[in-house]
Amino acid sequence: MEIGTCLIVMMMMTLDATDVKENTEDSSKSLVGRIMADRSFSFGLIEGAFTAIWNYPKDLKIKPLGDNTYHFFFAKETDLLRVERGSPWLFKQYLLHVQRWNSNYELGALTFSIIPMWIQLWDMPESCKNKGSCNKN
């Protein structure tokens, strides 16, 4: 009977301030978003769709984070602001809500439970068409 050998290799990497700064700068122009759907979509579909929906932002990079959550990297701050201000976005009848990425976020702690949006109500009685009526819970 032959006894196998096991080789364990340990590697240590040292990051300096430049490495950390570059990574932070890469994430400074990024958004994280979640598609509110009970099904998943192929990454190729997501990448192609949002590149087109957002009017082909220069050097857009998308990284899947799992559970219909994606990290969107932009080359230009103007593209990021346009996408951020346009949220929520509609994709195949599902909402995509994006928010600015913060390097202090933990993936499991990201919440998308509040989505600001405008609604339009028709045929409201005149007595309800005032600011006070809108603020009631």
How do residues 36-47 score in pLDDT, each as one tens digit? 999 999 999 999
User: Rounded to 5 degrees, what are φ and ψ at 15?
Assistant: -100, 135
Residue among 65, 63, 118, 115 at smallest CA distance from 94: 115
pTM: 0.67
Residue among 44, 79, 91, 85 at smallest CA distance from 64: 44
Helix (H) or strand (E) holding 100: strand 94-100
Exposed e or buried b per residue across 65-92, where buried means at least 16 C-beta atoms within 10 angstroms of its C-beta:
eeebebbbbbeeeebbeebeeebbbebe
User: Rounded to 5 degrees, what are φ and ψ at 133?
Assistant: -70, -30
Per-residue pLDDT, 118: 75
Domain residue ranges of the chain, discontinuous segments joined by +: 28-108
How do residues 33-88 score in pLDDT, each as one tens digit? 999 999 999 999 999 999 999 999 999 999 999 889 999 999 999 999 999 988 88
Residue 49: CB atoms within 10 Å: 15
Q: Longest C-alpha distance within the chain, in Å? A: 91
- The structural architecture, per CATH, of the domain 28-108 is 2-Layer Sandwich (3.30)
